[in-house]
Structure 1
Amino acid sequence: MTRRARLCLAGLFSSLLVTLLSVLLPGATAVAAGETTGTTGGTIGASTGGSNPIILIGTGGLTWSDVSPKDTPALWSFLRDGSTAALSVRSVFPNTCPVDGWLSLSAGNRAAAPGKAQDGSRANTDPCPPIPEVSSGVVPGWNTYVKAARDLKFDSTLGTLGEQLASNRQCVQAVGPGAGVGAAYLSGAVPRYAAFDPQQLTGLLSRCRVTLVDVGSLRDPRDLPTGEVPTQPGTRQAQAIAIDRRIGAVLAAAPSGSDLVVASLSDAGASERLRLVAAKGPRFGSGTLYSPSTRQDGLVQSPDLTVTALNAAGVPIPSTLGGFPLRRGTAGANSEAAAQDRLMHLLDFDQASHEVHPLVPPFFNAVVLAQIAIYLLAAIVWRRDFGSIEQRLRLLSITRRVAVVAAAIPASTFLANLIPWWRFPIPMLAAVLSVGLFVAVISAIALLGPWARRLTGPMVVVALATMVVLGGDVMLGSHLQISSLMGLQPVVGGRFYGMGNVTFALFATAALLLCIAVSNHYVRQGNPRAGAAAALAIGLVAVVVDGYPGWGADGGGPPALLPGLVYLVLAILGIKMTWRRGALVAAGTVALFLLVGFLDSLRGPENQSHLGRFFRSIFTGGAGDIIVRKLQQNLDVLFGNYPLALLVPIALVFVIVILARPTSWGSRSLQRSYEACPTLRPGLIALLITLTIGFAINDSGVAIPANGAIIAIPLIIAVSVRALEDEARESATTRASRRG
């Protein structure tokens, strides 16, 4: 390796290191100096919970749309006087049964009762297993649940809640069958159990610091899986009224000074959606509930409930738990009008997530069909002998404009959430029109400005708009991503903030395309060093936004983006990538990833992302299960019931062959673009490196190259077609001069 290459590589990683340290180190050093931001799960240590007893009232199937002042006065009192949020109850399977909700509460992580399938899985059409009634102080079939949790590899230990309380000399009282499952010890034993009896609640609720109460679950008769016999009589409304009466009985019997939390732990039938959670008492005034696990005010997840109970009891919180103690978020008035406003906000969370979920598959199918149509149109216009010069120019112009419009769709799907489309009578139509509005705005800016006459002008506008929208959103709290067509789905419960696979694919692709266009400007002026510096600056911004735990919090993104960025910078400088240099780049990337994880693990628990928790799991156990689970998810997508997913690795290999052999068939049409834009080919190789690594190291990584192509290929086509337009005009001018 030459001295110049060594210095260049060292400079690249030094720049990355300095940038990351400047962002991460202040939070890490504060923690190292003994400064903490709160006490939550994810770390082993004493909780700062007060002496107030906590009563967790568990139900199921209820959503905020079931709550009203007349029919459910007990729940309405929580909404008016307490802190409220929408609750993601996703456990293991898409449909969360009542027993799954209580098992997840017991483990503090995802858990579920096994289904009747050979592998223990369960379809939405399968009836829910019943909740076992505690017999002789033990949960019947407990070992079956423990084996299912172990096989699922979610690092879930059933009995964590009860065992952690007991081992720290705190008792837990269980009232009702579901509460017995939630309060069980590791062995399945439930020393303090009683059936639900409103007349006996007063004495029961004052026995222990933590009390779990099962008031029954709502099962919607219009949404029950095939073969499930209704266990609760009456309509949905009648069941909600009956559950509210039991909640009212618990409120009346609760000791003075208690904190009460009511949570709908499961779905009402085959349909999955967000549920309700509310808390009131000395620590929960009127307003919203907040949890650092979601970083979304008014949106929390099931594992937070287990940690909240442990925190209230003042016991250490195991590092394996993924939740955080619930706390009051935004304060509000305890008036009827304020309660109505909070209810509208909570209904927005639920309605948006419910309405967008069925729209995602047809949306992506439509995008795929549109992409195929663009490819066919591009294949036609790439033919030299198609029509006259005028016809060819007209068709080239149409193709270029269509490609730019298509590339503007991803950013527009996020901006569409600025409009409450889910409130309209026909949500699908409103969503399409909202996306179309922002597509028109971005496309107009890209195609009608003075930069539109430049080869890479429209690409700069669309790529920059995509970077600003996605990057700005994660920096400001990821609000546009929640329940968007290409963003995060809270009902699935995988991510609630930062960059998931789809967002990373779009963001990283846009960043590299912007690097290509900006560096090309300087390279064509004969200043490759300035071009490399510009690409490096853009790439560093993208890496930090994607990897910083407080923003993108993406563990698999920087290891994929960094090698592509380094390759592009070296290529601009004319330094050839060898196997040795590639190994150094890979080693440096891994080292930076581990360093970021280490620094994140030093931050306050509330500020940690999954990067820091994963780094801790390397030493405390559980990292192997995480890696195996992610690999299994990738393989399930690749070889499961998605035949088109197999085309992704095949397409990647095909593109690699084409880019590796510039004179091969398929890249000849791009050759004119390579000549007009010297950084295009190395930029495409850099993009290919990033998407391939992202595909290999992320769970459901097949989504990364597929979604990267949604923005990359249309913009590449737009650049190529623009080069063909210029060539056609030159040809027309030459012919006219010859005739003259």
Structure 2
Amino acid sequence: MLRRLTPVLLTLVVVVLGITALAARPEQGPAGRSADFVVLAGVAGLRWEDVDPQTTPTLWRMAEQGSIGSLSTRSAHRPTCPVDGWLTLGAGNYAAWNGSRRQGGCPRTEVTVEQPDGIGANLPDQEGVVRYNQDRQSWGTMPGSLSESVRCSVAVGPGAAVAAARPFGRVDRYAPALPADPAPLLGSCVLSIVDLGTVDGTDPTARAAQARRADAQLARVLAARPPRSLVLVAGVSDTAVPSRLHVAVADGPGWERGWLTSPSTGREGYLQLVDLAPTALSALGRPMPERLFLGRPALSVEGRPADLRTAIDEPAGADREAGAQRRVAGWFFALLAAAQVALSIAVLPLLRRARRHAGPHGPAPVSRRIVATVELLLVAAALAVPAALLADAVPWWRGTHPGWWFAGVTAALVVGGTAVVRFAPGHERTLGPLGAVAGLATLVVGADVLTGARLQLNGVVGYSALEGGRYAGLGTVGLGVFIAGALLCAGWLAQRVRRGWRPAVMVAVGGVAVVIVGSPYLGADSIGAIALTAGLSVAAAISTGGWLTVSRLAWATMAGLAVTVGFAVLDVRRPAAERGSLGRFLAAVGDGTGGLTVHRSSSANVETLVNSPLTLLALAGAALVWFALLQPWGGLLRLFGIYPAIRAAMAGTAVAAGIGGLLGGSALDVAGAAGALVVPMAALASLRVLDHSTDRTLPGAGRPGDEGTGGAAGGPTDGDGPGGGRAPVDGRTPDAGRPEPGRADAGRDRPGATGGGGSAHPAVPGPPSPSAGPVRVPAQPGPASTDVVTG
């Protein structure tokens, strides 16, 4: 009865852990009204490197007493040109101005502003812009949503007119430039939007002159600001390629000396352009059109350094790091993919010659030195991504040649990690390198997540704040590495215990990983947690041996569905501002806009599949596994038969990585990151299993009942199971085990079989001592030979 109830109990444990991780969310008190007036002042292209006490004294003083942050200006176009930025500001959602766009640049866009009555204005192009964003874009954007949420608004300058225009093109109050006395105009409506100009180009002198003019205009705005007002200054767009992070400053009651952040970023010091519209309405105490706004109200949090120069250095450094990350990430993943493909090709002849022949004839074995070198290269390849993540602890982007600095730091870390694995205890055992590499990878990614995921933000193998997709928690590459590392660690540990305890070990280790991935305080990836739950359930179901039967698949599927449904029910009942991605999707399905989310996810999957170097990694790894490692000469089937917990971990990794990439809109990126760790370790372990394929052991040399780990039930244990620790043969650790019942390859994988029929060898005279370890029996000449176990 207990054996029958075990799958049920383990499924319940996985479900409870998954829902607990996803359901707990940080408390967010309701943002109350904090101002009677809001002034949004925008400067296209303004970056933190343009701000200093001499060039922009007004903005400097405002930043000293207010809250500051880095602004991601993502819109529906890449890059976000000034007209796109202003339109996105007024829409509270990713928007784009219709019209032709030359590749990689921002053309000068003339905005027609008509003033028929001298009070307001009209944009005749607004109707076409609304139609373009509704029909040609997948965000459900409605330009003019901000102005539609207030009774009246003021716009100063053509850029501000684009942001303040209602969907039918009307601007309530408009002035082409600031009047001599701006106070009456700014006080005529609760919301004012002011275009302070543009800062563009690469010449420092020209940029400084433009920033000085914008600062002078800001001084006039602050002098005429209405009482009890919130003033937001933002670099609303890029002006050229590549994209950059921009200035964001808030000054008003409740915004003193802090970092700006937003629930849409979850990271102190970062907010998005789409957050400005809901911030303005929240400060005014106005309701927000939730179906139309993608952003969330910004907040001011403590923790900013007292010295403004020190505080500004952080967002300025983040901008430099994000720019360097964009340049370095492409060639890093391209080189990694090329190196792993080349290494996969180099492993093929070693696999074909790794199995030792018992007869006097056969190909000469490959030099042990060459095999050891290839093993070290496989370990180095598996550690490349964790090393690249850890390299961001060093400020490599500040150097003159950041790419070379990153390469040097990463190479040093790879060499150090490989040395740790090489000289770690148990390296000579078959699963020794696999367990060490998986442990290091899990430790690096897990420690980063537990300490705030600072290495992934703007990191080469992390995510960029310039892309606007993620700002906190686990990124796509980190998720793939963490899934693979955690499940391989669980399989390695499960293989060291008795068969009946293996599912419990898998669930214990994997359950902690689910909590880390899914918790909004840590990984903040609900899709990843659901995917990992499904993979963990599969791994736990087959960790004791056997295949993925219908009943086991049913329990694994039920666990994944239970976590998904349980979290969905809890998430959709939260307030709209506190929902996660799954809750927002279900709410969108309820109001009829869920098709846009599905369309965006499908488009993202296709784009990533075509353009990402990780796709090549995933396909190359799959090809090596299918056409080599899983072949009769490849060794992976033998590895799976001897170590069922490792097979379970790899199967669970494949399931989790596939689901996580598909549902997360990252196609094969998660699978590619996981494969970069799993495939080299699978090849290394297969080489070692084939190398020990002719080793034999004495009956009764291990503990009775150690199925799948060696001993009397399965041959030599390699020290990886309860019966391990016996002396090696010919300086090598023996490795074999009893195959699964009913396997078609049971005869081939049996430790005493070489695949050929024929006569048996005579027994060795005189039974050796049981403590002497396994004995290799030399083959005798004859027409065919078969290894026998002697005693």
Superposition TM-score, scaled by structure 1 size:
0.86
Give, as a single letter, the amino acid of the residue that structure 1 aligns with 2:404. L
Give the match for residue 471 of structure 2.
Answer: 496
Q: Is the 8 A contact 1:58 1:265 kept in 2?
A: yes
Check whether the contact 1:97–1:128 (CA below 8 A) recurs between aligned residues. no
Of 93, 103, 106 in structure 1, the residue corresponding to residue 87 of structure 2 is: 103
CA pair 642-294 structure 1, distance change in 2 beyond 3 A: closer
Residue 333 of structure 2 corresponds to residue 364 of structure 1? yes
The answer as to whether partners of 1:295 and 1:477 remain within 8 angstroms in 2 is: no
2:110 is aligned with what amino acid?
P
Task: Report if the CA contact (8 A) 1:470-1:503 is conserved.
Answer: yes
**Letter matched to residue 381 of structure 1:** L
Shift of 1:581: 5.0
Tell me the C-alpha RMSD between the 2 structures.
3.1
Contact between 1:594 and 1:615, CA under 8 Å: does it hold in 2? no
Shift of 1:545: 1.7
Structure 2 residue 685 is matched with structure 1 residue 700: no
**Structure 1 residue 160 and structure 2 residue 145: aligned?**
yes
Instruction: Answer whether contact 1:598 1:615 (CA < 8 A) is retained.
Output: no
Give runs of aligned pairs for residues 606-617 of structure 1, distance below 5 A.
608-617=579-588
Q: Corresponding residue for 1:112?
A: 96
Structure 1: which amino acid aligns with 2:570?
A: L
Give the match for residue 124 of structure 1: 104
SS at match of 2:460: coil
Q: Does the 8 Å CA contact 2:452/2:472 hold for their aligned counterparts?
A: yes
Q: Residue 217 of structure 1: which of 192, 195, 198 is its match?
A: 198
Q: Is the 8 A contact 2:98 2:132 kept in 1?
A: yes
Equivalent residue for 2:436?
461
Inter-partner Cα distance in structure 2 for 1:424 and 1:646: 31
- Report the equivalent of 1:62: 46
Deviation at 1:237, TM superposition (A): 2.4
The aligned residue for residue 163 of structure 2 is 182
Q: Kindly indicate whether the alpha-carbon contact (under 8 Å) linking 1:198 and 1:250 is maintained by their aligned counterparts in 2.
A: no
1:31 is aligned to: none
Aligned partner of 1:93 in structure 2 is 77
Q: How far 1:651 moved relative to its partner?
A: 6.7
* Mapped contact 1:549–1:608 kept (Cα < 8 A): no
After TM superposition, the structure 1 = structure 2 runs for residues 200-279 of structure 1, keeping only pairs within 5 Å, are: 200-220=181-201, 235-279=206-250
Aligned to 1:43: none
669-678 or 297-306: which moved more?
Answer: 669-678
1:26 shift after superposition = 6.1
- 8 Å CA contact 1:498–1:554 kept in 2: the answer is yes
Q: Give the CA deviation at 1:263.
A: 0.0
The CA deviation at 1:698 is 2.9
Per the alignment, in what secondary structure is the counterpart of residue 451 of structure 1?
coil
Q: Which amino acid aligns with 2:468?
A: G
Give the equivalent residue in structure 2 for 1:412: 387
- CA shift at 1:650, angstroms? 9.0
Please name the residue that 1:712 is paired with. 678
How many residue pairs match? The answer is 693
Deviates more, 1:461-470 or 1:402-411: 461-470
Gaps of 5+ in 1: 29-35, 40-46, 224-233
The alpha carbon displacement at 1:134 in A equals 4.9
Structure with max Cα Rg = 2
Residue 528 of structure 1 deviates from its aligned partner by 1.2
Letter in 2 for 1:138: N
Q: Please tell me the residue identity of whatever aligns with 1:38.
A: G
Aligned position for 1:723: 689
CA contact (8 A) 1:560 1:689 kept: yes
Q: What is the distance in 2 between the residues matched to 1:725 and 1:132? A: 76
Residue 42 of structure 1 is matched in structure 2 by none
Give the Cα separation in 2 of the matches to 1:369 and 1:24: 37
Q: Which of the numbers 455, 458, 462 marks the counterpart of 1:487?
A: 462
One-letter identity of the residue aligned with 1:469: V
Match of 2:737 in 1: none
TM-superposed deviation, 1:676: 4.5
Cα 1:330–1:699 shift into 2, 3 Å: same
Partner secondary structure for residue 83 of structure 2: helix
Q: Give how far 1:626 is off.
A: 0.7
Q: How does 1:438-449 map to 2 (within 5 A)?
A: 438-449=413-424
CA positional deviation for 1:558: 3.2
Asked whether the equivalents of residues 550 and 607 of structure 1 are also in contact (C-alpha less than 8 Å), the reply is: no
Q: Does 1:16 align with 2:14?
A: yes
Distance of 1:593 and 1:675 partners within structure 2? 33
Q: Distance in 2 between matches of 1:138 and 1:370?
A: 58
Aligned residue type for 2:44: G
1:291 matched to 2:262: yes
CA contact (8 A) 1:109 1:156 kept: yes
Range 92-101 or range 389-398, more displaced? 389-398
Question: Quick check: 2:353–2:363 contact (8 Å CA) kept in 1?
Answer: no
3-state SS in 2 of match to 1:668 = coil
Question: Where do residues 396-411 of structure 1 align in structure 2 (5 Å cutoff)?
Answer: 396-411=371-386
User: Is the counterpart of residue 392 in structure 1 residue 361 in structure 2?
Assistant: no
Instruction: Give the fraction of aligned pairs with identical amino acids, expressed as a percent.
Output: 30
1:566 match: 537
Choose the corresponding residue for 2:60, options 67, 76, 79.
76
| 8 A contact 1:58–1:213 mirrored in 2 | yes
Cα distance, 1:715 vs structure 2? 1.5
Does structure 2 retain, via aligned residues, the 8 Å contact 1:389–1:732?
A: no
How far apart are the structure 2 equivalents of 1:5 and 1:55? 67
Q: How far apart are 1:674 and its partner, in Å?
A: 3.4
What letter matches 2:145 in structure 1?
Answer: T
CA 1:572/1:406 → structure 2, altered by over 3 Å: closer, same or farther?
same
Partner residue, 2:453? 478
Per mean C-alpha deviation after superposition, the further-off stretch among 7-16 and 77-86 is: 7-16
CA distance in 2 between counterparts of 1:332 and 1:512 reads 39
**Partner residue of 1:148?**
132
Of structures 1 and 2, the one with the larger relative CO (CA 8 A, separation 6+) is 1
Q: Look up the match of 2:751.
A: none
Change in CA separation of 1:602 and 1:472 when aligned onto 2, cut-off 3 Å: farther
Aligned match of 1:352: 321
> Does 2:551 align with 1:553?
no
CA distance in structure 2 between the aligned counterparts of 1:649 and 1:617, rounded to whole angstroms: 34
What secondary structure does 1:498 align onto? Answer: coil
Contact 1:38 1:604 in 2 (8 A): no
What is the identity, as a one-letter code, of the residue corresponding to 2:10? L
Kindly indicate whether the alpha-carbon contact (under 8 Å) linking 1:38 and 1:606 is maintained by their aligned counterparts in 2. Answer: no
Whichever residue aligns with residue 59 of structure 2, its letter is L
Q: Tell me how far apart the structure 1 counterparts of residues 641 and 202 of structure 2 sit (CA, whole Å).
A: 66
- Counterpart of 2:653? 687
Cα offset, 1:251, TM superposition: 1.7
TM-superposed CA distance for 1:315, in Å, is 0.6
SS in 2 for 1:241: helix
Aligned-residue offset at 1:375: 1.0
Structure holding more helix per residue:
1
- The letter for the 1-side match of 2:189 is C
The answer to whether the 8 A contact 1:97-1:129 is kept is no
Superposition map of 1:22-41 within 5 A: 22-23=20-21, 37-39=28-30
Residue 314 (structure 1) aligned with residue 285 (structure 2): yes
* Cα deviation, residue 214, structure 1: 0.8
**Which amino acid is the alignment partner of residue 372 of structure 2?**
S
Residue 228 (structure 1) aligns with: none
CA drift of 1:208 comes to 1.8
- Give CA-to-partner distance per residue, 1:284-309, whole Å, 9 cap, x none: 21232222221222121111111110
Query: Letter of the aligned partner of 2:52 in structure 1?
Result: S
Contact (CA 8 Å) 1:176, 1:196: kept in 2 or not?
yes
| Shift in Å, 1:273 | 1.0
Q: Does 1:329 align with 2:320?
A: no
Distance of 1:14 and 1:736 partners within structure 2: 50
TM-score, with normalisation over the residues of structure 2? Answer: 0.81
Pair 1:678-2:663 in alignment: no
